[in-house]
Structure 1
Amino acid sequence: MVAEPMTTQPGRDWLDLSSPPQPPPENPEAPAASRVSVARGGLSAGLLSGGLLAGGLAQLRTGAARTGSAAAGHLQPVLAAAAGPLRRVAPAWQGAAERVGAHPLASRAVGAARRAGALPWGRGLLLAALSGFGLAALFLVWCAATLPPLNGNLPSPRTLTVQAEDGTPIARRGVARGRTLPLQSVSPAMVQAFLAAQDPWFEDGYRLDATGIAAVIGRAFRDTISDGPRSGGPRLTQRLVRRDLIGAVPGQPRSLADRVREAMLVLWLSARESDAQILARGLDLARFGPGLTGIDAAARTLFDKNAASLGPAEAAYLAGLTLSPDMQPDRDVTEIRALGHAVLDGMMMRGKLTAGEAGEAGRALDGLGPVGTTPVTRSGFPDLALAEAGARLGPEPPREAVLRTTLDRDLQAMAETAVERRLDAAGRGGTRSGLLVLGPDGSVHAVVAGGAPLSHTPEARRAAAASLRHLGRDGRPVYDRLVAAPMPTAERRTALLTLLADLARPPEAADDPASRDGLFVGPVGDLLVGTYLSGTAADNGAGDGPEALFQDLAAQVAKVRPAPQVAEAREAARETGSTARGASRPAWQNPGERPTATPTLRGVPRVIDTGRLRLDGQSVRLAGVEGQGGALAREFRQYLRRREVTCQPAGSADLYRCRAGDQDLSEVVLFNGAGRAAPGAPPELQAAEASAKGRKAGLWQ
């Protein structure tokens, strides 16, 4: 076996196996490489004396060399890919490294490291510290190489349009990014409002010394940004970096890399850009609602103005939006106005508005709303419909999408007119009024919010899903539903009451007066209408209140949607080969002959339930009957199939005594057990109900 030559003494280049040389005494001042060489020589001599161990060592070295070569081959592409970012970062850090190496503290640190290496276990501790320092340096270099761009992530623009039943747009949503504007192209009112909302102390003096750097790093590792006076760091810059550049979501955990990147970017911007440049960048990257980025896009989209033309009230509205950018500008109007008033107070605190100017701007703000704000957008119905259509649009957002709903523009106009008339009659002071109309399938045909918009409850999502009629994506149809299944009457009534209570709740930013609230629900043809009124006008007496609002809408609907004429109904009956009197019907029993009354309403009715009919363009309630739905209503509809009905008023506006031929329909319903006698019903109707109970007919089975 041949031993590997090793130099141990001057003038000798081989080892005498019979008398191995003794290692020299340890010299703490000798270089580390010499001590390692001596130790390796001693170890090799011991292994060579074993013979077999030397051969194993040779094989081990050969395998290690092969493994190292294979690992280098695998790592070469990875190192080549990482070399690009590191080359860009290296020049920036080279000068800093040279300055650090020339500092007196650096030489002291080197001396301390040498002394620590001479101690027992000192080398291991020193190597561990150097490894940790190296890993930390690599982590910082990686964070610097992966910093986000300073102009933010540019989203691809897209448009989502919500339409009424006739194709008229009622709301638009989407993603828009405005042009980059210099600070001189933004109105001074908007600049001051933005500073009052984001950082009233931004223009205070700030030094980027050791204390300031420590404050910036400390704030980067906090989850919240203080709203108080500046304590060593620029809050506007930190909000700009955290929210708009890195894209951190409030309330969600942030990674260590994001915190380090935040500190780097804040220090970079504070050192390289002026306050005016940082402020212009903040206005350009600020969010003014979902999908709306930049002051240029916000001014043009919401107020159809240039950013240089914004007044104090409009600036306060937009600055309030930046405090809560998840709000919809044309939906959460009341909450945004409240934030705008807080912005005006901040402008007064900074001395940029006088009390008179702030009062004038506040009055203008109370009546201000973005372009396209309507009772429909404030109800939240378009956003609910888009949320329900999101799954059908697919995971990739479309460039353009069109959503058609069941909203009836004519009925919506009637509802808005009725609500405005009722508010005017009530004097408006502290009064809120709302209205909701549901179709037979539970879809929304008209809506006016009396308080806050509809929230994402199961009932609201179900109504929005029933309201979808057509969905198109990038010019291609995705979903079509012309007819939906009807909803049971009781279920629809429950859903309407739940939705109406949701619409009637006061906004979070509004001071709701302690007053009476009133709800009223009733049918108008095949529609179900619910009204709401709060305040002193909520009392149902003297014609004021929710019932009066309901009657107002019902009267408007009756004028434009008349019932089919009797002649048309008879002609339709002749075309089908049957007459009204000869039509087949279930074996219902007639209680007896009754004289014919003078008609007031006449026509072929449409059955809503066993106590209500749709006749001559209005809803008719059978006197003395509490109607039932379901199978009993279907039997009643079969009984009245194409039969001409005559109705005579019997008290209130919608209460009638109706006859089909010679038969009183109220008595027919009660005699067959298809309804209950209402409180105070006439004796003949109570007797008809008693007969049905005795025979166990209908619902008395």
Structure 2
Amino acid sequence: MTTQSGRDWLDLASPKPEAAAPPAPSRLSIAQREVSDRLARARSGAARAGRAALSPVLAAAAVPMRRVAPAWQGAAARWSDRLGAHPLTARAADAARRASALPWGRALGLAALGTAGLAVLFLAWCAATLPPLSGPALTTRTVAVQAEDGTPIARRGTARGRSLPAEAVSPAMRAAFLAAQDPWFDDTYRLDAAGVAAVIGQAFRDTISDGPRTGSPRLTQRLVRRDLIGAAPGEARSLADRVREAMLVLRLQAGEDRTRILARALDLARFGPGLTGLDAAAHALFGKEAAALGTAEAAYLAALTRAPALQPDRDVTAVRALARDVLDGMVMRGDLSAARAAEAGRTLDGLAPVGTTPLTRSGVPDLVLAEAADRLGPEAPRDAVIRTTLERDLQAMAEAAVERRLEAAGRGGARASLLILGPDGSVRAAVAGGAPLRDTPEARRAGSASLRHLGRDGRPVYDRVVAGPAPAAERRTALLALLAGLARPPEGADDPASRDGVFVGTIGDLLVGTIVSSNAAENGAGDGPEALFQDVAVQWAKAHPAPPAPEARETARETGSTARSSARPAWQNPGERTAPSLTGVPRVIDTGRLRLEGQAVRLVGVEGQGGSYAREFRQYLRRREVTCQPAGGPDLYRCRAGEQDLSEVVLFNGGGRAAPGAPQELQAAEANAKARKAGMWQ
């Protein structure tokens, strides 16, 4: 290319240098070009055919889009302008530019990616370690608690029932279980985005909501949290347990219907310590198949699932109170009419599991078992036997005496408790009129003293040599503490009666304590605690007759008679003993008898009355100090509160009758009450 003189631009007309000729194409390149041309023509034909087929559809879809597009584009433009003009948008864009220019911006991105990866790994680990839907494996174990002669008195341990389909369970049991666990189980529930979020939120809460609008997942959530994962109520749960709970609830809700979820919940529910599954509970507690359970029995079992820590044959009163709430829930759900619920409630008043006795309700076997658990070791045996100091015959006497005392009181809310301790502080007999014994230091010592023999899988583990007698003051203190525990009102009692009196006495080398509720005295039982003690003492004396005196044995040998002599020993002082005076705040037995300084006192010249007169007399003497002087008899006293003669006060107010031979001033007080028609003379 050349440039002519006098010009400053290129001479385009000048001849161009000849370009080098391109190399001749090879055969391989010609074949590749032909293949590519054919493929291009095939793709073009397919594209034309596809456009021809989709053009009607796209045209139809484009019609509404054309209508909406202008408005949408306008709205988008307006919002874009607003966001672009906002100061925060400019600041955010500037911060993003600066962050992208800094090295740590990339580090933050990598950290976010690493955190996301760890979260995925954590979720995968939780999914891989989910507990099986069949529940934890349980080994059947049996612990037999025996009396001193080897008679079984209680049975504890663990048992797992068979899996039952929902059709093999009585309708009453299914309804009672739902009333106890999830009354809104039949509500509609959708596992959509909101439902999944609700399940996850509930899994991260420490309590499960009892209100409506929760639907089916509540029963599923309790099944997973309590029976599959094994989290106790109020127990701290880890993050992994919460995630596993959400996974299992979603899995069950998505993969199983409600009937199957209900059957699984019944198979894994706990019906008391160590008793898992409805099949095991029905056989162990009522000796029945699950299909034969009645309404009251179903309510009792369903109540146990609400408080699995309750012992079925010990906490009977508390379980009955919960069972009444279950009956109310069945009525609310429409599974039971009010009339049938009332009938089931009456049946429930006398219902108790098989093997329930006053001794099991006292809680003594469980105290001995708790003491023996330390000696059994951390690994529970398959079979264990615990021998105690409880005397079967003495226990039968105590139960019969309490029953007679309650019959005498008319059972109008009366309660009676009795406890007998041996010389070493061991429990020989116990009857609970209120709640069972709590695990207190005194109860632990009594349980330890009551343990005689412990066997584990056929091998003896512990044999206790009978200890020496405990100090009298220590044994009396322990008895009063235990007796107060036996007499406290049970949980769920509608109107617990207050204790009226305590009596402590000895029968041979046994220390006996009794408590009778105040209603017993009001219903005509009189001095209930002392009468209960005397009843047991008489029965014990008949079963353990005293050996005859030496003089009587000699007379029996000479005459052939077996009668016992009641002659006074020669060394006994024939003179009368002067009774000491007594001072203190008394307890009213009736209007003619007080208990002062642990001694029964009869008011001179008064035949006392109980009931309302005794209550009024108790109110009159409320926290007042009384001084009593002996009046001739072994328990006859002349008592005064300040300057008032209590015998005269009782007779003047018509609270009793004048005894035969009463002094003239007391007869005059009775005549005055009759004239005024006061008290019992109305």
Q: What TM-score does the superposition give when structure 2 sets the normalisation length?
A: 0.67
- Give the match for residue 397 of structure 2: 414
Of 539, 544, 547, the match for 2:527: 544
Taking the aligned partners of 1:250 and 1:491, their CA distance within structure 2 comes to 39
Taking the aligned partners of 1:194 and 1:122, their CA distance within structure 2 comes to 57
- Give the match for residue 356 of structure 1: 339
- Give the match for residue 502 of structure 2: 519
Describe the superposition over 1:31-59 as per-residue Cα deviations: whole angstroms up to 9, x where unpaired.
xxxxxxxxxxxxxxxxxxxxxxxxxxxxx
1:202 and 2:185 are equivalent in the alignment: yes
Of 225, 228, 240, the match for 2:211: 228
Taking the aligned partners of 2:241 and 2:552, their CA distance within structure 1 comes to 73
Q: CA deviation at 1:306?
A: 0.2
Taking the aligned partners of 2:408 and 2:183, their CA distance within structure 1 comes to 44
Q: CA deviation at 1:247?
A: 0.3
**Correspondence list, 1:202-601, <5 A:** 202-231=185-214, 234-513=217-496, 515=498, 517-538=500-521, 543-567=526-550, 600=566
Q: CA deviation at 1:513?
A: 4.4
Taking the aligned partners of 2:306 and 2:326, their CA distance within structure 1 comes to 10
- Say if 1:353 and 1:232 are closer, same or farther in 2 by CA, change over 3 A: closer
Partner amino acid for 2:118? L
- Say if 1:383 and 1:195 are closer, same or farther in 2 by CA, change over 3 A: same
* Contact 1:624–1:679 (CA under 8 A) maintained in structure 2: no
- Say if 1:171 and 1:223 are closer, same or farther in 2 by CA, change over 3 A: same
How large is the Cα RMSD of the aligned pairs?
2.9
Taking the aligned partners of 1:559 and 1:549, their CA distance within structure 2 comes to 16
SS at match of 1:331: coil
* Contact 1:566–1:604 (CA under 8 A) maintained in structure 2: no
Q: CA deviation at 1:119?
A: 5.4
**Correspondence list, 1:80-95, <5 A:** none
1:142 and 2:131 are equivalent in the alignment: no
* Contact 1:334–1:507 (CA under 8 A) maintained in structure 2: yes
SS at match of 2:515: strand
* Contact 1:335–1:509 (CA under 8 A) maintained in structure 2: yes
Taking the aligned partners of 1:225 and 1:212, their CA distance within structure 2 comes to 15
Partner amino acid for 1:263? A
1:192 and 2:175 are equivalent in the alignment: yes
SS at match of 1:362: helix
* Contact 1:212–1:233 (CA under 8 A) maintained in structure 2: no
* Contact 1:518–1:538 (CA under 8 A) maintained in structure 2: no
Taking the aligned partners of 2:328 and 2:530, their CA distance within structure 1 comes to 42
- Say if 1:603 and 1:398 are closer, same or farther in 2 by CA, change over 3 A: farther
* Contact 1:289–1:322 (CA under 8 A) maintained in structure 2: yes
* Contact 1:522–1:528 (CA under 8 A) maintained in structure 2: yes
* Contact 2:408–2:524 (CA under 8 A) maintained in structure 1: no
* Contact 2:579–2:630 (CA under 8 A) maintained in structure 1: no
Partner amino acid for 1:165? E
Partner amino acid for 1:304? G
SS at match of 1:440: coil
Describe the superposition over 1:671-696 as per-residue Cα deviations: whole angstroms up to 9, x where unpaired.
xxxxxxx974989xxxxxxxxxxxxx
Partner amino acid for 1:198? Q
- Give the match for residue 164 of structure 1: 147
Taking the aligned partners of 2:549 and 2:376, their CA distance within structure 1 comes to 47
Describe the superposition over 1:484-506 as per-residue Cα deviations: whole angstroms up to 9, x where unpaired.
12111111111111111111100
Describe the superposition over 1:146-203 as per-residue Cα deviations: whole angstroms up to 9, x where unpaired.
0001001121111001000100000000000000000010001000000000001111
Partner amino acid for 1:380? G
Taking the aligned partners of 1:318 and 1:334, their CA distance within structure 2 comes to 13
* Contact 2:371–2:444 (CA under 8 A) maintained in structure 1: yes
* Contact 2:425–2:449 (CA under 8 A) maintained in structure 1: yes
* Contact 1:216–1:232 (CA under 8 A) maintained in structure 2: no
- Say if 1:602 and 1:447 are closer, same or farther in 2 by CA, change over 3 A: farther
- Give the match for residue 127 of structure 1: 110
Partner amino acid for 1:227? D
Q: CA deviation at 1:623?
A: 5.8
Taking the aligned partners of 2:245 and 2:123, their CA distance within structure 1 comes to 12
- Further displaced range: 232-241 or 323-332: 232-241
* Contact 2:520–2:526 (CA under 8 A) maintained in structure 1: no
Describe the superposition over 1:78-99 as per-residue Cα deviations: whole angstroms up to 9, x where unpaired.
xxxxxxxxxxxxxxxxxxxxxx
Describe the superposition over 1:639-698 as per-residue Cα deviations: whole angstroms up to 9, x where unpaired.
xxxxxxxxxxxx999xxxxxxxxxxxxxxxxxxxxxxxx974989xxxxxxxxxxxxxxx
* Contact 1:404–1:470 (CA under 8 A) maintained in structure 2: yes
- Give the match for residue 153 of structure 1: 136
Q: CA deviation at 1:566?
A: 2.6
* Contact 1:379–1:448 (CA under 8 A) maintained in structure 2: yes
* Contact 1:193–1:315 (CA under 8 A) maintained in structure 2: yes
Describe the superposition over 1:209-242 as per-residue Cα deviations: whole angstroms up to 9, x where unpaired.
0000000000000000011113476100000000
Q: CA deviation at 1:123?
A: 2.2
Taking the aligned partners of 1:604 and 1:184, their CA distance within structure 2 comes to 82
Describe the superposition over 1:123-153 as per-residue Cα deviations: whole angstroms up to 9, x where unpaired.
2222111100000000000000000010011
Q: CA deviation at 1:538?
A: 3.6
- Give the match for residue 690 of structure 1: none
Partner amino acid for 1:525? G
- Say if 1:115 and 1:130 are closer, same or farther in 2 by CA, change over 3 A: farther
Q: CA deviation at 1:563?
A: 1.4
* Contact 1:433–1:533 (CA under 8 A) maintained in structure 2: yes
Q: Percent identity?
A: 72
- Give the match for residue 86 of structure 2: none
* Contact 2:398–2:431 (CA under 8 A) maintained in structure 1: yes
* Contact 2:442–2:481 (CA under 8 A) maintained in structure 1: yes
- Give the match for residue 657 of structure 2: none
SS at match of 1:282: helix
Runs of 5+ unmatched residues, structure 1: 1-111, 572-597, 612-621, 627-650, 654-677, 684-701
Taking the aligned partners of 1:429 and 1:542, their CA distance within structure 2 comes to 11
Taking the aligned partners of 1:450 and 1:625, their CA distance within structure 2 comes to 35
Partner amino acid for 1:240? L
Describe the superposition over 1:434-458 as per-residue Cα deviations: whole angstroms up to 9, x where unpaired.
1110111111111000100000111
Q: What TM-score does the superposition give when structure 1 sets the normalisation length?
A: 0.65
- Further displaced range: 291-300 or 250-259: 250-259
- Give the match for residue 22 of structure 2: none
Runs of 5+ unmatched residues, structure 2: 1-92, 555-563, 581-599, 603-627, 634-682
* Contact 2:162–2:280 (CA under 8 A) maintained in structure 1: yes
- Say if 1:623 and 1:176 are closer, same or farther in 2 by CA, change over 3 A: farther
Taking the aligned partners of 1:130 and 1:413, their CA distance within structure 2 comes to 75
